[in-house]
Amino acid sequence: MASGKYDYDLFVIGGGSGGVRASRIASGHGAKVALADDGAVGLGGTCVNVGCVPKKLMVYGSEFGRAAGESGGFGWDFKRGEADWQRLISNKDKEIKRLNGIYETYVLKKAGVEIFKSKATLIDAHTIQLADKKVTADKIMICVGGWPRQLKFEGSEHLITSNEVFFLKERPKRVVIIGAGYIAVEFAGIFEGYGCEVNLIYRKDLILRGFDKDCRKMLQNEMIKSGINVELKTQVTKIVKKSDGLEVTLDNGKVIMADIVMAAAGRTPKTDGIGLEKVGVKMEKGYIVVDEWQRTNVENIFACGDCTPTLQLTPVALHEGHCFADTQFGGLVRRADREFVATAVFANPNLGTCGFTEEQARKIFGGIKVYMSEFTPLKNRVSGAPDKAMMKIIVESHSDRVVGMHMVGHSAGEIMQGFSVAMRMGMTKKQLDSTIGIHPTSAEEFVTMRTVHHEAKDPPTSSL
């Protein structure tokens, strides 16, 4: 489709989820498309290489040791042995390599996208500098994603991040994790499941800021019950390398010995050094500012995914990239719709959520009714596992619409995906109550809660 004026109709900078989706769909609509990836993590971006996919494989692996310990009640006498960490990492690497090949050969090249394995820097609004040449494009899409936040204090050079944790050559016996978001909480569960001594260090009093408070409390308690030591309202001030490991000093005076110290204190957009300021693209705190069409203040430059102030989730980046390509090249005008996006924290147990937290719902809707249930899952009655499950439904009183669903418990992510479809369709509490459950499952609890746990009647204080 490219005219003689430019080399490409679309040039995408960044080979992560959003970039791959945008380029593939645009090419499918007939556009001439190229994509450049700097190779920092590999095609597929953070999610495929040092994020969602390898993390979930390690979550699966961490569950086998627990399963062996819980099997006795069901008549089995499995003995929990020592995990072969190198085998885990080797098999994980093989799967990621397979996915990299699929992204390059089948997802991109087969779709007609030209791939440049090079850093790409903007020279002007239509010109991109690659390692060995310059190219031009009518439209440019920036999808460079994010990068682990780098902490600075005495001895911080001994820290690893979520980039390095997937390539440890040996299983650490003692682990310190700094932070309490998705990554920190999930890796605390992974390492605990593999038999490590885990200390989670957080400067505030409750993990997983931004999630529903009851879920945060519940999961924090379940993590502590599992054997994870959670140090709250404190920070690491110093790390000293000793002959027997890393000596970690907290600002409350406590000293912890560790084999690794992992910083998981958030991520920052990877937008430095690619020419955005030179071209005049508007930025806020490192994030690229875009409108509802993913367009920046420079008319022909767009951005999506974690380098913009959006929901930092792989499926959201995919959705944004797809909507952009459909709108700009397919004649299918559509904007990214981020209402009722379900997500999960793959901790032990999982936290699954969709919609508004109770705190958000009180401010936005005012009058709400809250339904809650906490129980011991059937399996645990026999296995003896101590963890419980909790489910919570938030209903707007005036309309009866379900505006929030939250769960702490095994398979919460799988369960929440289905309910998110119903929530996007405007499901009411009456419709939820009229649904016949699948028995015996934990999920059926969502369709059997009839009694209001508590409600709020104050007027709303903010808007959507």
Active site residues: 439
Q: How many CB atoms lie within 10 A of CB 339?
A: 8
400's CB contacts (< 8 A; 6+ apart) are 428, 429, 430
For 131-181, the DSSP string reads: SS-EEEEEEEEE---EEEPPP-SBTGGG-B-TTTGGG-SS--SEEEEE--S
H or E stretch including 322? helix 314-329
Q: Are 358 and 369 in contact (CB under 8 A)?
A: no
65's CB contacts (< 8 A; 6+ apart) are 80, 83, 193, 194, 195
H or E stretch including 58? helix 52-70
Rounded to the nearest 5°, which phi and psi values hold at 318?
Answer: -60, -45
Q: Are 194 and 61 in contact (CB under 8 A)?
A: yes
Q: Whose CA is closest to 338, among 213, 212, 408, 423?
A: 423
Classify 14 as helix, strand or coil. Answer: coil
